[in-house]
Amino acid sequence: MSREALQESLSAVMDNEADELELRRVLSAIEDADTRATWSRYQIARAAMHKELLIPHLDISAAVAAGIADEVSPLKAGRGPWRTLGRLAVAASVTVAVLAGVRLYNQDEIAGAQLAQQSQPTNVAMPQAKGPAVLAGYTEGEQSPGPMASGVLQNQAGWHDQRLPGYLRQHAQQAAMKGAEGALPYARAASLENR
Of the residues 28, 84, 93, 143, which one makes contact with another protein according to CB under 8 A: 143
Residue 100 is a binding residue for another protein (CB under 8 A): no
Residue 146 is a binding residue for another protein (CB under 8 A): yes
Residue 78 is a binding residue for another protein (CB under 8 A): no
- SS3 string of 3-24? HHHHHHHHHHHHCCCCCHHHHH
Q: Which of 8, 109, 14 is nearest to 52 (CA)?
A: 14
Segment near another protein (CB under 8 A); pick from 51-59, 66-74, 89-97, 111-119? 111-119
Helix axis angle, 3-14 to 20-29, nearest 10°: 110
Segment near another protein (CB under 8 A); pick from 26-34, 55-63, 69-77, 147-155? 147-155
User: Could you tell me the smallest distance in angstroms from the CB atom of residue 96 to another protein?
Assistant: 17
Amino acid identity at 162: Q
Residue 160 is a binding residue for another protein (CB under 8 A): yes
User: Could you tell me the smallest distance in angstroms from the CB atom of residue 157 to another protein?
Assistant: 9
Residue 114 is a binding residue for another protein (CB under 8 A): yes
Residue 86 is a binding residue for another protein (CB under 8 A): no
- Distance, CA of 80 to CA of 18 (rounded, Å): 34
Residue 41 is a binding residue for another protein (CB under 8 A): no
Of the residues 17, 31, 52, 193, which one makes contact with another protein according to CB under 8 A: 193
The alpha carbon of residue 8 and the mean position of all alpha carbons in its chain are separated, in whole angstroms, by: 23
